[in-house]
Amino acid sequence: MSKAEAAAGVGAAARQRTHRPVPGRFLRSELLLIFGRRRNLAGLAVLAAVPVIVAIAIKVVGPSSQGGPTFFAAVMGNGLFVALASLALELTLFLPLAVSAIAGDTIAGEANQGTLRYLLTVPVGRTRLLLVKLAAVVVFAFAATLLVAVAGAIAGCALFGGGPMTLLSGVQVSFVAGALRVLAAVAYLALSLSALGAVGLFVSTLTEQPIGATVAVLVFDLMCQVLDQIPQLDWLHPWLLTHWWLSFGDLLRDPIAWHGIGRGLALAAGYTAVAWLAAWARFAGKDVTS
């Protein structure tokens, strides 16, 4: 090898190291993209508005025992229950829709805009790309779930007050202890929704149309909810992604009923692992032309 060729090789390697993304910068860039889009901010605003509407409706009309694990009936006693009631309400559509929209846009959105091929030449390995995309979806799931809970807690405490919290089992705990249990419910639901986001990541590798991916993931979520209501399929219910979501109500008991929580976390971890591996198997050998 001549000196000129060696110098050229060293220069190319240096340029590659220069353009290689700094660890963490890629994820920050992805998060800025997600939380900087107006449509995503509008969606988060809708998520935050629902708890406020729920609190005002209960204040004006009165509580109801329907719509979740008795959270609505307990709202009058402590405003923190507005956060829990809102989470139970939004789990039926709004939160899954928000996560599905973000997850469906992860790969399909890049392909649709023609930026996926450029992104892979930065260089960014495909495995790393999928890991960062999944991490961004998980962060969004936590942010969306926490936003609903915080908006509900603020609106609830403003209209119904705070103070000691009477759990669903009848045991009374301090306001701080009650708030910590609400945060635990947020973490549980965020992890559960992250599994749906992992499914969306896989679906996003199958198409270049982010809207199509979003609809497919949302249909999957609704299908799980519908199948969970059919008694003849009770053997299937424990394996449906959405089956254990409402088990977050067990965190509001004393002692905490860990069976449903544990099953839900294990199922979410299983769905996440299988979906990410399926996305990797699909994306690793996929020809990227856009």
Percent of the chain beyond pLDDT 70? 83
| The two three-digit tokens of residue 224, written as one number | 């799980």
Tell me which long-range contacts 232-240 makes (C-beta under 8 A, separation of at least 24): 238/263, 238/267, 239/267
Any idea where the domains of the chain sit in the sequence?
21-284
Residue 96: pLDDT above 80?
yes
| The two three-digit tokens of residue 219, written as one number | 């249909």
What average pLDDT does this structure show over 62-67?
Answer: 56
pLDDT of residue 285: 65
Residue 290: pLDDT above 60?
no
Q: 11 by DSSP, 3-state: which? A: helix
pLDDT of residue 169: 86
pLDDT of residue 178: 93
60-69, 91-100, 234-243: the lowest-pLDDT one: 60-69
Average confidence score pLDDT of the chain: 86
Measured CA to CA, the distance from residue 147 to residue 180 in angstroms comes to 15
pTM for this structure?
A: 0.87
- Whether residue 166 contacts residue 77, with contact meaning beta carbons closer than 8 Å, is answered with yes
Tens digit of pLDDT for each residue in 184-232? Answer: 999 999 999 999 999 999 999 998 899 999 999 999 999 999 999 999 9
pLDDT of residue 3: 46
- Whether residue 254 contacts residue 182, with contact meaning beta carbons closer than 8 Å, is answered with no
